[in-house]
Amino acid sequence: LTLVVPAAAASRPLVVAHRGASAYAPENTVAAFRLARDQGADMFELDVQETADHHLVLMHDTTLSRTTDVEKVFPGRSPWRVGDLTLAEIRGLDAGSWFSRKYAGERVPTLGETLREMRGSGLGLLLEIKEPRLYPGVEARVAEEIGRDTGWRGRIVVQSFDWESMRRFHRLVPGVPIGLLGTPPVADLPRLAAFADQINPPYAGVTAGYVRRVHRLGMKVLTWTVDAPAAVRRLTGAGVDGVITNRPDVVREVAG
């Protein structure tokens, strides 16, 4: 695993800001990523999708409705899918007002812009490719974009719920660590370890025994979405390598 783990994190799990510090700022915006850095996160997580004209933008849902004003701006474009609008159209949207007036005018970032803005932060990046089946060829586009920015070398992990997509990504760029979202059965772990570096499950079912099985194969466990102090303590005890949280400040307070 070539991920650069900050020295301060050696005795505690890595703190990964889920869609940025998304309890306090609109998810998947540069404002949320900057706040994650200010709150002491080691890494930030984001979701990548593709516009109709094949630009990479950050959005969690496959439609723009929940986190932008798209329905007001383009009333005739239902169901407002990310992949149906162009970059120029999406860049005209407000991605902050739904969260609070304070963030009015925040834009949907491109992946390239985010890499430029956050390059100097020192944080690592957990990059999720969201619904890759909707965007044939997205793995190559992500590989090209992150390969262009040499300042990020060794600081990016790429993850997805779609494990076949991650196998393809690994074939394209074997040097970038891969995370698999979900909880694969223990019996499947050895074959997945052939291309994966992390198993990243929802936290409820994570046990010390499962973490040990993953560790034995040389992989790490980053679990989500952990905001409650009691859960942070339990998972630290179970030996996880990272917690993915909407509240990096809370997790730093508990985990050190």
**Among residues 54, 55, 60, 170, which one is catalytic?**
60
Q: Is the distance from CB of 127 to CB of 157 less than 8 angstroms?
A: yes
Binding mask 114-153 for Ca ion (x = CB under 5 A): --------------x-------------------------
Phi, psi of 254 (to 5 degrees): -80, -45
> Could you give the count of Cα atoms lying within 13 Å of 167 in the half-sphere of its Cβ?
7
Nearest distance from residue 28's CB to Ca ion, in Å?
A: 9
Nearer to ligand G3P, 80 or 224 (CB): 224
Nearer to Ca ion, 66 or 253 (CB): 66
What number of chain residues touch Ca ion (CB under 5 A)?
A: 2
How far is 234 from 26, CA to CA, in rounded Å?
A: 28
Q: Nearest to Ca ion by Cβ — which residue?
A: 128
Among 23, 25, 31, 45, binds ligand G3P (CB under 6 A): 45
User: Does an H or E element contain 167, and which?
Assistant: helix 163-172
How far is 153 from 169, CA to CA, in rounded Å?
A: 16
Q: Which of residues 62-121 bind ligand G3P (CB under 6 A)?
A: none
Nearer to ligand G3P, 37 or 130 (CB): 130
215 catalytic residue (yes or no):
no
Amino acid at 110: T
User: Does an H or E element contain 159, and which?
Assistant: strand 156-160
How far is 204 from 201, CA to CA, in rounded Å?
A: 9
Among 42, 47, 197, 249, binds ligand G3P (CB under 6 A): 47
Q: Please, what is the Cα angle at 64 between 161 and 45, to 5 degrees?
A: 40
Nearer to ligand G3P, 106 or 128 (CB): 128
> Could you give the count of Cα atoms lying within 13 Å of 203 in the half-sphere of its Cβ?
23
Q: Is the distance from CB of 158 to CB of 181 less than 8 angstroms?
A: no
Q: Is the distance from CB of 205 to CB of 226 less than 8 angstroms?
A: no
55 catalytic residue (yes or no):
no
Q: Which of residues 214-253 bind ligand G3P (CB under 6 A)?
A: 224, 244
User: Does an H or E element contain 116, and which?
Assistant: helix 111-118
Q: Which of residues 21-50 bind Ca ion (CB under 5 A)?
A: 47
Nearer to Ca ion, 47 or 249 (CB): 47
DSSP state of 8: G
Binding mask 132-171 for ligand G3P (x = CB under 6 A): ----------------------------------------
Among ligand G3P, Ca ion, none, what binds residue 255 when CB lies within 5 to 8 Å by partner kind? none
Among 3, 13, 18, 155, binds ligand G3P (CB under 6 A): 18
How far is 73 from 86, CA to CA, in rounded Å?
A: 14
| Residues forming the active site | 18, 60
Q: Which residues bind ligand G3P (CB under 6 A)?
A: 18, 45, 47, 60, 128, 181, 200, 224, 244
